[in-house]
Amino acid sequence: MTSVSLIDGASPVTADAIVVATVSTGTGVALADGAAGVDAALDGALLPALRAVEATGRADEAVKIPTLGKIATPLVVAAGLGPGAPGTLDPEAVRRAVGTALRGLESAGRVAVAIGDGTDPDLVAAVTEGALLGAYRFTKYKSGAKPNALRRVDIAVSEPAQASARAAVRRSRIIAEAVNNTRDLVNTPANDLNPVTFAGYAREQGEAAGLAVEVLDERALKRGRYGGILAVGGGSHTPPRLVRLSYAPARARAHVALVGKGITFDTGGLDLKNTGMGDMKSDMAGAAAVIESIIAAARLKLPVAVTATVPMAENAVSGASYRPSDIIVMHDGRTVEVDNTDAEGRLILADAILRACEDSPDCLIDTATLTGGQVVALGHGTAGVMGTDAFRDRVVALGSAAGESLWPMPLERRLRTRLDSPVADIVNLPTDRSASMLVAGTFLKDFVPEGLDWVHIDIAGPAFLKSASGYNGEGGSGVIVRTILACLADLAGG
C-alpha cells in the first residue's frame, strides 16, 4: 500500500523521481511554483532541458528529464498544468498533472512531488489524490503480475508539521482509496462479481467499517413486493439482492439517502443489446460508488447520517426473463408497463428509491450508469445531473469544486406525459426515444416524494473510460465518489 508523507521542501530530496509542474505561456513552457528548488539544484539546467526536448506545459503532458547525477534523485518528471501563469495552481489541474506523472512511472518505488510551497491544504489534497489515483493499477487477473512498485509519495512542503496539511493528506487518502476501491469493483468481470458476491462484499466491508448492514435475498424481496428488482433479476441463475448500509453517528446534522444502480451485467434482456455489451460489467458503477462513499464517510467520521440502499441484479436472458409488455407491481403498489427490457436500471432504482424514502431522509442522491442519452449529450467526461433545481445546482457546484465534471439538466413537466401507459400507471420507456436521459430522470422523479431535495446523477459516460488521461487509466474511473463525499461533508457543516 502506498504511503503519503510530508517532507521539508528546503532539504535535499532522495527518491526515484521528483515531479514538478510546468505551464504553457504565450512564449512557451515555464516552470510553475515549487520547481525553483529543483531547478537550482540542477544549476538552472531544468528549463533549458525542457525547451530542448520541446516540452509545452500543456495539460496531460509528462516529460522525463534525467538528472545525470547532479542530484540524488535520478529523474525529474515535468507535468503540464496547461495554459496559465506560473503562480496559478488550480487544484484539479494539479491533480491531473500529478496523476499523469504517476501513470508514467511503472517502476519507481518512491516519488517526491514539489508543486507549490505546501501552505495551501487544497493543493496538498490535490497532490495526494492525484498521486494515489494516478498510481492505480488493476492487475488482479494478469498472471505473474508484479505488485505496484510505488510504496511512498513524499510531498515537499514548507512546514511538514502543519496540522491543516496533515489533515488534508489523511482525508484525501481516504477519498482516493474509496475511488480506487470503486474502480476495482467496476473492473471486476461479472463471472466473479454478481448480485450475491457483490452483496457479500458490501456486507463484509460495511461491517468492517462499523456500518449496520441488511441484505434482502429473493425471498425477502418477494415479501417486500420489490417487483422491479425481481423482474430484472429473474432471468439470471444468480438471484437479485437489495443491500442496505447505515451510518448513524451521534449528533448527526442531517440524514442523507444514497441509492446506486447495481446491474452487475446487462445483456439488455430479451431486447438484447447489439453493441457495447462487453462494457456492461460496469453497469454497477453507481452501486459501487455509493457503497464506497458511505464507507469513506464512516472512516472520515462525518457528522451526518447516511443510509445507502443498493439494488443488485443481473439482467440476463433465459426462459425466466421478463418480457416487453409485462406489467410489474412496484414496492409501493404502482404498476409499470415494460416497453423495453434494456431500460432496466430505472426499474430497480425506483424500488430502491421507494424504500430509501421510507426512512424520511432530508435529501436523496441517486446515481447510475443509466442512459446512452447521457453519452450522446455530454460525452464520456461529464455526468448529467437532474433533480430539484436548488439541490441539483448545489451538488453540481460541490462536485465541480471536488474536481469532477457535472452539468445540470432540466426535468420539464411536459416529459411526464410521454410516460403515460394505456394499461398501467407508467411505462418504463416511451416510443419516442428523444431526450432519453431526461425521460429516465422523469421516470425516477415519479417515485420521489414531493418536496424532498433530490438529485439523480447519470454517469453512463464517465464511469468506464476507453482511454487514459490525467489520473484516470482505461476502465473504471471511480467517478462520483468525490462528488458524493463533498456533498456529505457540506451537509455535515464543512
Give the catalytic positions in this structure.
273, 346
Distance of alpha carbon 112 from alpha carbon 9, whole angstroms: 10
How is residue 234 written as a grid cell? 429473474
**Locus of grid cell 425477502:** 220
How is residue 301 written as a grid cell? 467520521
φ, ψ (nearest 5 deg) of residue 232:
-65, -40
Evaluate whether 149 touches 15 at the Cβ level (below 8 Å).
Answer: no
